[in-house]
Chains A and B, each alone.
Chain A
Amino acid sequence: MTTTSTARRRRPMLRERRRETWYAIAFVLPAAIGFVAFYLVPAVRGVWLSFTNYDLFSPGEFVGGENYAKIVDDHVFWNALLVTLEYVVVNIGLQTAVALLLAALMQRLARSLVIRGILLVPYMVSGVVVALLWQWLLDYQIGIVNNALDFIGLPRQSFFGDPALAIFTVAFINVWKSMGYTALLLFAGLQAIPKDVYEAAAIDGASEVKAFWRVSLPLLRPVLALVLIISLIGSFQIFDTIAVTTKGGPVNATRVIYYYIYDLAFNRYDFGYASAIALVLFVILIGITLIQLRLTRANKSDLA
């Protein structure tokens, strides 16, 4: 909100100012209608629904905090939360490590746009395509990955069918999908670090690896924190891969919160309860965002 419109020095006449206001309203109006109808009102309505037993077919009644009380005893919910956390931890941990490695490699030896472009392709295609593709690659009978396992003498794995493996498989697929994107964000952060810092490190006799740990990584911290939070919030909302491959199974091994909400609302028509869980997810994500704000602010001074 820094630079305001036209000239401040030549104070426009009141009539012109009023005309500008009308134009501005006309310009904002379509977007504002979309915003009110599909963001603002639904958000308020979502809160209201979470206090009702609405089921899509009858008008639904106000039931107070009943849905929230139900959450406390719902072991499927707690399991979903646990599975989501498992997914988030593996996905974010692996993705950040791989992306850091890729970003450092891009920075040191391969700035080529083609390489960055290739690594970004999985991120550009739809989650459904990625899910189907990996289901084929990981097929128990004739999937190329299981064939490779067989070849090096390891047992075949039922990647989606084994409760112990399923959620990690989904996490791995999404690391594959978004590692290029995360690497690109971190690469941009590395590019912003001034060259003379590295020169100084080199004069002090630091090796490339040492320079990465001692110089790049600390200076990258604000960008890293931001990227981490963006992917963290994104990974809480994993849906496509699970909807196409496991549908929450085997048993509840991949029933993450997002899929559980979908299941409650559209398979069991329990809209009220689904809305209450969606609100809980909302609160969790706000909590993460607030932590992010503190982290990025605390580290702002590093690059200055």
Chain B
Amino acid sequence: MTTTATRRIPVGRIIAWIVVGFFLLATLFPFYWMLRTSFSTNGALPSHSNSLLPADTTVDAYRRVLGLSSVSESLAKGGSTASVNFWLYLRNSFVVAISTTVVQTIFSALAAYAFARMRWPGRNVVFTIFLFALMVPPIFTTLPNFVLIRDLGLLNTFLGIVLPNLLMSPFAVFFLRQFFLNISNEVEEAARLDGAGHLRIFFRIIVPMSAAPITTLAILTYVASWNDYFWPLLVGQDENVRVLTVALGIFKAQTPNGGPDWAGLMAATVIAALPVIVLFSLLGKRVINSIQFSGVK
């Protein structure tokens, strides 16, 4: 406490901190409740619906969701007869999110480099056309894209799920171009005098110098891809390619309406949310800074 604070009671500041505390609690409590429920049993939930601790603490819900317990066992615990195997969906989500992130980031960076650092006829016209894509609402292109993926026979394949986002995203190109524009010419010119080609300049100079924004973009792409629901719902219903978000929706639809498998559902949401939360807590600073950057620019 500073001297000014002790002299008169800072009522305004106290109220302000109470408000901040309220919002932090309102943000964190639902996640705590999700965790708490996932370690409960469905049988004990109704009678302990206000208990802050798990009702009848157990990891059964996780065992059930990850397909580690038998059907009869899971029925007895209030699960559904549907075979759920979130290991498979977890793998599928990783396949989709990682491939989209890696490929999209590379090709978007290459394009951004060409738009920012190279001189070629028609460059500005092409870039302006790219920018227009940012304005098109996704649903408008989703309908024809679905027809296209179906006509290509790619429904229920990983390729069908990733293809529309694989080669580029207008946002990624735009985002990286902004950073590439600000790199000084001198380094690039020196390398060119040493006889380095464009590929070499790109991979040896531009990419290392832009490691921070590229990583940030990759995180954002990964999170968006991991969380995407609409497109995988349309083209990836089959179990072999079903991603976690779609599986969650199906799991929810299968649990009985009268007595939903809340413990199982919450265990499944924990599994679906965890990779993103872990990634965010490791690299959150970058994400926060990049979002702030996008707000002011």
Question: Taking beta carbons and an 8 Å cutoff, which residues of A are in contact with B?
Answer: 1-7, 17, 20-21, 23-25, 27-28, 30-35, 37-43, 45-46, 49, 54, 56, 98, 101-102, 105, 108-110, 113, 115-122, 124-129, 132-134, 136-137, 139, 141-144, 147, 176, 179-181, 184-189, 191-192, 208, 223, 226-227, 233, 236-237, 239-240, 243-244, 258, 261-262, 265-266, 271, 274-275, 278-279, 281-282, 285-286, 289
| Known A-B contacts A115-B20, A281-B139; A208 and B227 likewise in contact (beta carbons under 8 Å) | no
Q: Is B87 an interface residue (CB 8 A)?
A: no
Q: Mark B128-152, 1 if CB is under 8 A from A, else 0.
A: 0110010111111101111110100
Output the nearest chain A residue to B169 by Cβ-Cβ distance: A34
Q: Is B45 an interface residue (CB 8 A)?
A: yes
Q: Is B166 an interface residue (CB 8 A)?
A: yes
| Known A-B contacts A127-B229, A128-B245, A186-B295; A147 and B273 likewise in contact (beta carbons under 8 Å) | no
The answer to whether A285 and B137 have CB atoms under 8 Å apart is yes
Number of A-B contacts defined by CB within 8 Å? 293
| Known A-B contacts A129-B248, A184-B288, A223-B296; A27 and B114 likewise in contact (beta carbons under 8 Å) | yes
8 A Cβ contacts from B271-297 to A: 272-273, 276-277, 280-281, 284-285, 287-288, 291-296
Output the nearest chain B residue to A110 by Cβ-Cβ distance: B20
The answer to whether A286 and B23 have CB atoms under 8 Å apart is no
**Apart from the given pairs A54-B147, A117-B281, 8 other A-B contacts in the complex at a CB distance below 8 Å:** A6-B192, A23-B114, A27-B110, A116-B288, A136-B34, A142-B49, A184-B288, A188-B292
The answer to whether B138 and A237 have CB atoms under 8 Å apart is yes
The answer to whether B292 and A34 have CB atoms under 8 Å apart is no
* Min C-beta distance of B171 to chain A, whole Å: 12
Q: Is B84 an interface residue (CB 8 A)?
A: no
The interface residues of chain B lying within 8 Å CB-to-CB of A6 are 117, 119, 185, 188-189, 192
* Min C-beta distance of A246 to chain B, whole Å: 12
Q: Is B217 an interface residue (CB 8 A)?
A: no
Output the nearest chain A residue to B234 by Cβ-Cβ distance: A266
The interface residues of chain B lying within 8 Å CB-to-CB of A132 are 248, 252, 265-266, 269
The answer to whether A119 and B276 have CB atoms under 8 Å apart is no
Q: Is B223 an interface residue (CB 8 A)?
A: yes
Q: Is B262 an interface residue (CB 8 A)?
A: yes
* Min C-beta distance of A77 to chain B, whole Å: 15
Question: Taking beta carbons and an 8 Å cutoff, which residues of B are in contact with A?
Answer: 12-13, 16-17, 19-20, 23-24, 26-28, 30-31, 33-34, 37, 45-46, 49-50, 107-108, 110-111, 113-115, 117-121, 123-124, 126-127, 129-130, 133, 135-141, 143-148, 150, 163-168, 170, 173, 181, 185, 188-189, 192, 197-199, 202, 223, 226-230, 233-234, 245, 248-249, 252, 260, 262, 265-266, 269, 272-273, 276-277, 280-281, 284-285, 287-288, 291-296
The answer to whether A23 and B118 have CB atoms under 8 Å apart is yes
Output the nearest chain B residue to A279 by Cβ-Cβ distance: B140
> At the interface, is chain B mostly helix, strand, loop or mixed?
helix
The answer to whether B163 and A38 have CB atoms under 8 Å apart is yes
| Known A-B contacts A31-B111, A56-B147, A117-B284; A24 and B139 likewise in contact (beta carbons under 8 Å) | no
Interchain Cβ contacts under 8 Å between A and B, 8 examples: A6-B185, A113-B285, A126-B227, A129-B272, A136-B266, A244-B252, A265-B146, A285-B135
The interface residues of chain B lying within 8 Å CB-to-CB of A118 are 24, 27-28
Q: Complex formed: what's the CA distance from A31 to B171 in Å?
A: 12
Task: Identify which of B272, B284, B296 contacts A192 (C-beta below 8 A).
Answer: B296
* Min C-beta distance of B45 to chain A, whole Å: 6
> What 5 A-B pairs come out closest when comparing CB atoms?
A34-B167, A185-B295, A126-B227, A31-B111, A188-B292
Q: Complex formed: what's the CA distance from A176 to B30 in Å?
A: 10
Q: Complex formed: what's the CA distance from A21 to B229 in Å?
A: 39
